[in-house]
Amino acid sequence: MKKIMIIDGGPRRNMNTGAMVEAFAEGARSADAEVKHVRLYDIDYKGCRSCMACQLKGKPVDTCRFKDGITDLLAECAAADGLVLASPIYFGDITAQLRAFWERLVFPWLSYAKGEVKAAKKMPVAFIYTMNASEAYAAQIRSTNLAQFEGVLAGALGHEPEAILACNTVQVHDYSRYEFAEGTSENKQVYKEAHWEEDLAKAREAGARMANAQD
């Protein structure tokens, strides 16, 4: 049975990112994969400390051995059959928690000597993003701010990156309690009715596709 790891870098359990992640997981499970969904905000850890232990001569290690809340999780991701990183977009980028996780995952795969980033095991990789803004904005930040984040990981894992998006998301349950522009609640509702089920369906399909991927 294939094992897919979903690393959820969003803080809110039951909102947009969580729902997209659950839809992806449902699709993957329906295609007989085992799915582990991990919420980074529940774990105590930090980004790379530049201890350089993973770059020592004669000591090639391909997962970060620094002991904290994600040490075992990093090894589990490196050994999986598929990897999904999910995040709400914060100021045009992934959350700080996901970035810190990514540093720890990827730095041990970097060889300065060879000038490459290569994981020991190849696997398909997908990115789930949710955001307030439009599809056009998503395309723009994917080609700028998110290009290294996606490109380095996908290159290391030997697969093209796939992104599953939910745009123009409903940010709060009751817009009347917050200082949003007039009409935001109505506009969001109209957009949601037209797109949300389709976004979830795309996440489910992507989950099934990853579970059925050939290598």
Q: Which residues bind ligand FMN (CB under 6 A)?
A: 10, 12, 15-18, 88-92, 130-133, 169, 171
SS3 letters across the chain: CCEEEEEECCCCCCCHHHHHHHHHHHHHHHCCCEEEEEEHHHCCCCCCCCCCHHHCCCCCCCCCCCCCCCHHHHHHHHCCCEEEEEEECECCECCHHHHHHHHHHHHHHEECCCCEECCCCCCCEEEEEECCCCHHHHHHHHHCCCHHHHHHHHHHHCCCCEEEEECCCCCCCCHHHCCCCCCHHHHHHHHHHHHHHHHHHHHHHHHHHHHHCCC
